[in-house]
Amino acid sequence: MKKNKKTAIIIISIILAIILLLVGTFFIITAVGKHQFHKDDTHVSADGVTIEDEDVVTYNGNRYVLNKNIVSILVMGIDRDDLNQNLGSGNNGHADVIFVATIDTKTKKACIIPISRETMVDINQYADNGQFIGSKREQLCLAYAYGNSTEKCSRNVMTSVRRLLYGININAFVTLEMVGVEELTNIVGGIEVTCLENIETKRLMATKGQKLQLKGKQATAYIKYRGDDTEANARRMQRQKQFLSALMNKTGNAVLNDFSKLGKIYNTLSPYYKTNVTFAQVTYLAQNCLTKNFGDSLEYKTIEGTLTQGEQWVEFEPNEDSVLQTVIDVFYTPVE
């Protein structure tokens, strides 16, 4: 009996040790993931903003503290069928969908900052060998074209977005082929939306107010369609916001109901996206972010500006005050 008791104690001790090791590893990975998101946290750099110390700034007579719980990821949808194919610097496609996704991992408040592809900003240009040529004020979507790999193209967009947002820390990106959107909508059984405008394409014919069940290529047709007038991309961004919220609801709820679907989604989408988000960062986000009807909780912050017809294309000139106020609202917390 004593021998059996001793054996049982040893077995229990080993099991407890393994559990503690796994729990400890999980928290270590989570801590590493948090650090990776925040390792380059800096204040905005803009006229009218006074930096008091490493955490607090003053803007418009009010004091704000940098929210260290905010995680931000730049998400890009590229008009390419194969992200791995290098077509040469300047020819690697455009970023048709661009937004910064943020979440406060303490409050679980999620926010989306949609950024118009037509936003005029300084973008870096590179030769095929990677040599820096110079910068030029162009549409933001063109920044993706300059680079000789998906990561370099993506980082080039990220550099311009940080410039636009006064240097606020964004060092994570997810770059997605439009085919990936088609696959994801199929996995979750389609997305239901009410059409926001008349659409006439080879893939989708719909009228404003019509109920649509979008799957596959119809889904990408809905978020890619753009008319020829100056306001066409602004309307498309509204459809993209609508679609994103519905997609986040359907995907998040599917995973919460059956976590095995997470693996299926990952395996299905892996050929269609590139990211610099590490496993540790994914673990950190998974622990802090997933909630029921996640898409309904998304808050959208609109950057105001002026649309004009340039010599070659429509140009969106962002209002500097609107950009700065958006950054303050999303990345800072008022000091009581």
Rounded to the nearest 5 percent, the helix, strand and coil shares of the chain are 45, 25, 30
Query: What's residue 26's pLDDT?
Result: 33
Confidence check: pLDDT of 23 > 80: no
Quick one: pLDDT band at residue 119, thresholds 50, 70, 90?
A: very high
Q: Give the strand pairing for 211-214 and 314-318.
A: unpaired
Quick one: pLDDT band at residue 284, thresholds 50, 70, 90?
A: low
Q: Which helix (H) or strand (E) holds 210?
A: none
Query: What's residue 17's pLDDT?
Result: 37
The DSSP call for residue 294 is G
Nearest to residue 289, comparing CAs of 135, 150, 108, 123? 108
Q: Which fold has domain 40-334?
A: Aminopeptidase (3.40.630)
Mean pLDDT of the 309-314 span:
83
Q: Which helix (H) or strand (E) holds 151?
A: helix 150-164
Quick one: pLDDT band at residue 28, thresholds 50, 70, 90?
A: very low
* Portion of the chain with pLDDT greater than 90, in percent: 30
- Mean pLDDT is highest, among 1-5, 28-32, 134-138, 255-259, for 134-138
Quick one: pLDDT band at residue 320, thresholds 50, 70, 90?
A: very high
Query: What's residue 59's pLDDT?
Result: 93
**Are the beta carbons of 100 and 73 closer than 8 angstroms?**
yes
- Map out the domains of the chain as residue ranges: 40-334
Mean pLDDT of the 173-178 span:
85
| One-letter identity of residue 5 | K
CA-to-CA distance for 130 and 205, rounded, in angstroms?
43
Q: Which of 162-171, 229-238, 262-271 has the lowest mean pLDDT?
A: 262-271
- Who wins on pLDDT, 28 or 200? 200
Q: Which are the contacts of 173, defined by CB distance < 8 A and separation ≥ 6?
A: 73, 74, 75, 76, 154, 155, 157, 158, 275, 276, 277
Mean pLDDT of the 16-22 span:
35
Confidence check: pLDDT of 252 > 90: no
The two structure tokens encoding residue 75: 């998400």
Confidence check: pLDDT of 9 > 70: no
Mean pLDDT of the 276-288 span:
66
CA-to-CA distance for 103 and 298, rounded, in angstroms?
9
CA-to-CA distance for 286 and 92, rounded, in angstroms?
32
Confidence check: pLDDT of 308 > 70: yes
At 189-216, the pLDDT tens digits run: 999 999 999 999 888 999 999 999 999 8
Mean pLDDT of the 278-285 span:
65
